[in-house]
Homo-oligomer: A and B are copies of this chain.
């Protein structure tokens, strides 16, 4: 149950309302939410308790959600949230394309990709400096040394940047150099990390774990929201199944399922989902047709020489063609691309 308190509620009255519930043995938590305060509990309130709250003069409304992930639920917020990243809005009518290399390998590589991505239609840049790799012997990213590069490219190209964070203690540092933090699939249930990005207010791109149900994914988002960070975007990137013709199995039905359950925007990453350059464009179109709010596309000036994920990155020409072909599909489902 979520008790939304009025914007003008004084701190004293808020404490009063919280204590009222606590005294009844209700496990309640005050959450700062934009400019308001929410009192959140997973316990059921008796009708008379709800009525009492509604009479206290500072309650705006009381939300009952059937979803365990209450703050993520449609009952709490009826329409898709718009999450602002720099001056870009994810979840609006205009689709958002996030482009850039899997790993940032050098100044030249990132800068060239970034300029081209912007010119060709991307509105956000991606690029990893810390790379979570299955093997400790694989390229692990530039690490801290790559950070100034993020800031430099953002400045020069003029697009906001999303990059992956791997450890709670790096959240603050990364927030200085970047505009949105990505929680990767393997960390979807790294609860320490979820809480850390939740305490920050930076926008978060939460990738679905490759073995996570939609329900677990929303509960992972709830960890972030419950710390008071409302800026969460979900990213479907394929789940692990028995089929090995593709790297993962892209679960596009998750998009309309999420639309019914949550107000959080949903973007799709066809690059990791398929693991194969040839499949990125058809799956990008399918994602938009299914209702995605955006796409995350790995692009590289020279994919064959990429330090990681070379099979799935598009070169810049292919990326341009993708955007071209995407535009009529976007229009066909009532969305804009540029």
Contact = CB atoms under 8 A, between A and B. Distances in A.
B241 A245 contact: no
A283 B291 CA distance: 9
Interface in A161-200: 166-169, 186-187, 189-192
Contacts of A86: none
Contacts of A210: 211
B239 A249 contact: yes
B245 A214 contact: yes
Contacts of A220: 134
A243 interface: yes
A62 to B, nearest CB: 17
Contacts of A329: 289, 329, 332-333
A43 to B, nearest CB: 9
A278 B290 contact: no
A55 interface: no
A281 to B, nearest CB: 8
Interface stretch (A7-15, A111-119, A250-258, A314-322): A250-258
A293 interface: no
Contact of A189 (B186, B213, B260, B288): B186
10 contacts: A132-B191, A134-B189, A134-B216, A186-B189, A213-B243, A214-B243, A215-B245, A243-B254, A282-B290, A328-B333
